[in-house]
Amino acid sequence: MNYADTHEKLMGFQKQIFEIRNQMHELQAQVEPQIVEDYTFETPDGPVSLSDLFGDKDDLIVIHNMGQTCRYCTLWADGFNGVYEHLANRAAFVVTSPDSVPKQKAFAESRGWRFPLVSHKGTSFAENMGYTGEHGFEPGISVFQKKDGQIVRVSDSPMGPYDDFCSVWHFLRLIPEGPNGWEPQYQY
């Protein structure tokens, strides 16, 4: 198939994806919120509650990160660093992992991360939000709101290679051979 024909067909797929995303957004807007407890996390400044993480915002985006041992979660977090200010302008944003606060802090400094991190080590937060599995912690995103004096989860999404939350995969898929066995590394 020539380039122009392929391009036209690909643009048709893009339009379908756009339409499906709109349908997904409309369905998500209708979900009955899930009431959650006001979990306590550890930070370099001491304990902080889930409700405290909202700051002056009504919405809170929480990234479920597997921690320093996961190169893929590190790749995602490196990308969040670039969009953090934009997201934080609209909603509170925090990354949580099972790593201890000193371990998180040292790793974040080595990566130049600017977003807030909290440790859910020793809590049931990740498990209760559905981000643990047979091999331990799993990556994802939960979005919370404050409603009628309660904290509710209004949406969530798992994360993994080729998802919508890491642009690297989308760039690599534009190469005819795709990632071709590429995996993220801590250093190149």
Q: What's the CA gap between 74 and 185, in Å, rounded?
A: 9
Q: What are the tens digits of pLDDT across the range 75-108?
A: 999 999 999 999 999 999 999 999 999 999 999 9
C-alpha 38 chain-centroid distance:
20
pLDDT per residue over 105-126, tens digit each? 999 999 999 999 999 999 999 9
Percent of the chain residues topping a pLDDT of 70: 100
> What mean pLDDT do residues 49-69 have?
97
The one-character DSSP state at 131 is -
- All domains of the chain, ordered by start, with CATH? 33-173 (3.40.30.10)
Q: What are phi and psi of 144, to 5 degrees?
A: -120, 155
Answer yes or no: are the C-beta atoms of 156 and 165 closer than 8 Å: no
pLDDT for 28 equals 93
The confidence score (pLDDT) of residue 107 equals: 98
pTM: 0.94
How confident is the model at residue 1, as a pLDDT? 85
35 token code pair = 């009431």
CA distances (Å), origin 137, targets 19, 74, 133, 165: 32, 14, 6, 18
Average per-residue pLDDT for the chain: 96
Q: What are phi and psi of 168, to 5 degrees?
A: -55, -45
Contact indicator for 143, 153 with CB cutoff of 8 Å: yes
pLDDT at 160: 93
Whether 135 shows a pLDDT value over 90: the answer reads: no
pLDDT digits (tens, 9 = 90+) for 15-45: 999 999 999 999 999 999 999 999 999 999 9
pLDDT confidence of residue 186: 96
Query: Contact, 81 vs 114, CB < 8 A?
Result: yes
Q: Is 155 helix (H, G, I), strand (E, B) or coil?
A: strand
Residue labelled with tokens 């969009």: 83
DSSP for residue 150: E
Q: Which residues pair with 155 in a beta bridge?
A: 143
Q: What is the mean pLDDT of residues 60-86?
A: 96
Closest by CA to 95, choosing from 142, 147, 29, 149, is 142
99 Cβ contact list (under 8 Å, min separation 6): 67, 68, 107, 119, 121
